[in-house]
Amino acid sequence: MNKFSIRRLLICVLLIGSVIFNVAAWMSRSFSDYYTDNIFPVITGIYGRFTSLFRVSVGERLLLLLPVLLVLFVISLFIKREFAKGYRKVLALVLSVVVAVMSLNCFVLYHCTPLKVSETEGEEYYLEDLANLRDYIVNKCNELSELMPRDADGNVIYDGDMNEAAKAAMAGIAGEYKRLGGFYVTPKALTFSGFMSQQYMQGYYFPFSMEANYNDEMYIMNKPFTMCHELAHTHGYIYEDEANFLGFLSCIKSEDIVFVYSGYLGVLNYVNNDFYNAVDKEVYKSHVAISDKVRYDDQFLTDEAWERVEKRALFKTDTVKKAADTFIDTNLKVNGISSGKVSYTHVVALLLDYYRVNPYN
């Protein structure tokens, strides 16, 4: 068997295997659960350990190769040479590998059994429940904001290794959720965090490199929650609402007070916005007010950071954000999440359920 027939055979195996694997995932939740609980952690342990050896984001570097590969592909269409034919053959193999990796590290995860906090999940909640949850989180944020170490400009400062603290925080709740056990990759800051800021994105999970990446331009109080959120993705929790909930839970159970504050801040807007939309303005104003310090700490980027981002930007922020929203919404719907980007707000239901089982303290 010559090398060309071996290549074709490998491509067929990867593509056909990926189709069969994805069909099984769509048709059987039990299959998806078994794979994610038992096989996916092995991949994380092996592949994640390898990519964690690099200080920079491997996934980001691979994405940078995409435009180059596309340009070379277009050029190859107009070149009648052996090199062009060879390049297209190599590209076909690369694409088949990408499909296989994405199937194993991402697509199947969308078909797992949704996260349940209690056996009674799904019962009806009332406005009073939402109001109590909202006021509790606002009170915690107000209290914790006063305890934060700050610089002369009022910005929160952190003295320690936040990456290691995030891994420890997630490992701290591993006993409650089976998939959170085992090896943790090291969260990595993205080199092109400015472009990420234009998408209003705090973090990315790169399935093809098994990495948890975060936006290094964003305000510091976003980072602990985001790191834990992305680490949840690397352990099989692909739904955004589930990763938000686990990011929150790991932070508030941490012994690091900055992480605790970040956890409450991470879900504040979800809960506060849902409550605001459920009542009239007078009722909303009668509840606990969010302090000025909390409002400041709840920002995405500081004004100085936004100036840096806009100064270096190649494209307008509005254009980048619209494209990013379209991509995210399409990706969710393709993987069976019919509500699209709205799925990001489901974390409120998980929080309500959690606090029904674990009363406020």
CA 29 vs CA 25, 36, 184, 316, 350: distances in Å: 6, 10, 25, 42, 20
Helices (H) and strands (E) in the chain, counts: 16, 3
358 vs 82, residue with greater confidence: 358
| 120 — pLDDT class (breaks 50, 70, 90) | low
By residue count, the chain amounts to 361
Least confident window among 54-58, 238-242, 314-318? 314-318
* Segment 279-301 mean pLDDT: 95
Beta strands across the sheet bearing 203-206: 188-189, 211-214, 203-206
Least confident window among 125-134, 163-172, 300-309? 300-309
Number of other residues whose CB lies within 10 A of the CB of residue 360: 11
The average confidence (pLDDT) of the chain is 86
Please choose, from the candidates 171, 197, 187, the residue with its C-alpha nearest in 3D space to the C-alpha of residue 302: 197
- For residue 189, the cross-strand partners are 214
* Segment 303-308 mean pLDDT: 84
pLDDT of residue 339: 47
Least confident window among 5-19, 43-57, 259-273, 328-342? 328-342
**pLDDT per residue over 201-251, tens digit each?**
899 999 989 999 999 999 999 999 999 999 999 999 999 999 999 999 999
pLDDT of residue 346: 83
Tokens at residue 204, please?
A: 């990315």
Helices within 54-113 (DSSP H only): 58-76, 82-105
- For residue 153, the cross-strand partners are none
**pTM to 2 decimals?**
0.86
The CA distance from 243 to 342, in Å, is 15
